[in-house]
Structure 1
Amino acid sequence: MTECRRLVVPLCWLSLLLAATLGMGQLEGLFRVIEPDSRQVIYDRAGFLTLLGRHLSVVGVAAVLAILIGVGAAIAVTRERGRDFLPLVSQLASMGQTFPPVAVLALAVPVLGFGTLPIIVALLLYGLLPIVRNTLAGILGIEASVREAARGMGMSSGQILRQVELPLAAPVILAGIRTSVTINIATAAIGATVGASNLGDPIISGIVNGNTAYVIQGALLIGLLAISVDSLFSRLPSPGGR
């Protein structure tokens, strides 16, 4: 029963997202008020459900790569052999987020071509910092006495990492992943400028054609998607069942 209550809010947001995605055409009268002079007020170059799926795919692939690289790098530099590289990894992750995604796209397109790959690279770089930073904070924040107690119980370094450090650091790591994914849901919209079809398509088309209704439709769905995902993350059970 408790688990069901935990999911009520995320399910409400997801239901609203699905309703808006499937029922956007039913709001033509409302958008006609916003754009009375436009011949067409509902974006129809691609279905909104299709665009939503593509958006989730791009963000999902970038998130998986960012988690694997970010958590892996942070773990590596907290080991005895990798501590000398800790400042370097932190600086590289910071540079990835301070470098504008648009600039990453401008540099990546000549090499990778138009399409989905450049935006995945941009989202990967942009999403690394929160994951690396929180993984480092979570692992380095564990008291030395806890590790010593684990060693006293005969645990190996690998066992300490898997059974002690990662479970204790998991809430902090998850918070970093949550921030990274939520930010990238909005950032992914710029992929439409390089041929990566997603929920940014209506926004870019609306800006180019001066159609505010298109912009609102894309922004509305991206906003609902970000809130839905963030709400799901907030309801994930923490280690230990708390």
Structure 2
Amino acid sequence: MPVAARSAGLLLLPALLLTLCVGMDWFEPWFALIETDSRTLIYGRDSFLALLLSHCTLVLLSSALAALVGIAMGILVTRPSGRDFLPFVSQLASVGQTFPPVAVLALAVPLLGFGTLPTLVALFLYGLLPIVRNCIAGLDGISASVREAARGMGMSPLQILRQVELPLAAAVILAGVRTSVTLNIATAALGSTVGARTLGDPIIAGLINGNVAYVLQGAILVGLLALATDQLFDALQRRLDVRR
């Protein structure tokens, strides 16, 4: 595919997402065909753009923290001195996905209160496992002969990690981050049940009031955000492959 066509395709979904956030009122006649019994067809308790920014901030913070901790854990257990911790780290990372996010939120609210903080905790735990697994798989997948060659060149263990192992494992680690972020974009909508401002607000309001139009508006925006983000990661992975 030509570069220009790829660039245009990369901008299409974000442009559509922003268009819907700013001009959802333009599509009111279409929602009127779906929700005929409601006087209010467009969710108006908060602007969609504000909800999008809040939703992205939650995902960005939780995913950045999960990536930082997950990669650090992956590096730790792939070192000779940390191999004994591999079962413990794997089980610890699995806890976040063993419990459903709703259960994590329910347990976090009594300790952290309502709002953003329990949602961040739930998203962090839920997004940790794919990053840890892929980091371990990427680092363990490097041939021992490559490490031996690096040692033969006089590199220190830290230099081997930074200049050899992490660059070679970068594509696999990025795939784990991609999975984690995509999962968290969908899961973040549940934060609206505990008072966080997310694109789940119109979905929850629609379910409570029986307004299908609200539910569709929230679901479409969450879906477009997930697709646009996944498309961005796909472009990053292709760029990384070319550089390699």
- The bucket for the TM-score relative to the shorter chain is over 0.9
Q: 1:111 is matched by which residue type in structure 2?
A: L
- Which contiguous aligned blocks of 4+ residues in structure 1 show a shift greater than 3 angstroms? 2-6
Letter in 2 for 1:43: Y
Aligned-partner SS, 1:106: helix
Structure 1, residues 200-235: CA drift from partner, whole Å, max 9, x if none? 000000000000000000000000000000000000
Matched, 1:154 2:154: yes
Q: Which residue of 2 aligns with 1:17?
A: 17
How much has 1:6 moved relative to structure 2?
Answer: 4.0
Hey, what does 2:30 align to over in structure 1? 30
Q: TM-score, normalised by structure 2?
A: 0.96
Cα shift at 1:39: 1.4
Q: 3-state DSSP class of the match of 1:7?
A: helix
Inter-partner Cα distance in structure 1 for 2:9 and 2:229? 11
Identify the residue that residue 132 of structure 2 maps to in structure 1.
132
Unaligned runs of 5+ in 1: none
1:217 aligns with 2:217: yes
CA distance in 1, matches of 2:61, 2:142: 30
Length, aligned pairs only: 242
Distance 2:7 2:86 in 1: 38
Check the 8 A contact 1:34/1:212 in 2, yes or no. Answer: yes
Tell me the CA shift for residue 5 of structure 1.
4.6
| Residue 182 of structure 2: aligned partner | 182
TM-score (norm 1): 0.97
Amino acid at match of 1:238: L
Matched residue SS, 2:46 = coil
2:100 aligns with 100
Structure-1 separation of matches of 2:63 and 2:91: 20
Shift of 1:81: 1.2
* AA partner of residue 124 (structure 1): F
Unaligned runs of 5+ in 2: none
Structure 1 position 3, deviation (Å): 5.7
Q: Amino acid of the residue matched to residue 96 of structure 1? A: G
SS at match of 1:37: coil
Displacement of 1:7: 2.8
Pairs within 5 Å for 1:82-93 = 82-93=82-93
* Aligned-residue identity in percent: 64
Residue 208 of structure 2 is matched in structure 1 by 208
Distance 1:214 1:240 in 2: 43
Distance in 2 separating the partners of 1:60 and 1:12: 21
CA distance in 2, matches of 1:95, 1:197: 26
Q: Once the two structures are superposed, what CA deviation does each residue of 1:64-84 show, in whole Å capped at 9, x if it has no partner?
A: 000000000110111111110
Tell me the amino acid that sits aligned with residue 172 of structure 1. Answer: V
**Cα distance in 1 between the residues matched to 2:3 and 2:138:** 26
Query: Which stretch of structure 1 is more off in the superposition, 6-15 or 116-125?
Result: 6-15
Partners of 1:240 and 1:73 lie apart in 2 by 28
186-195 or 10-19, larger mean C-alpha shift? 10-19
CA RMSD of aligned residues (A): 1.3
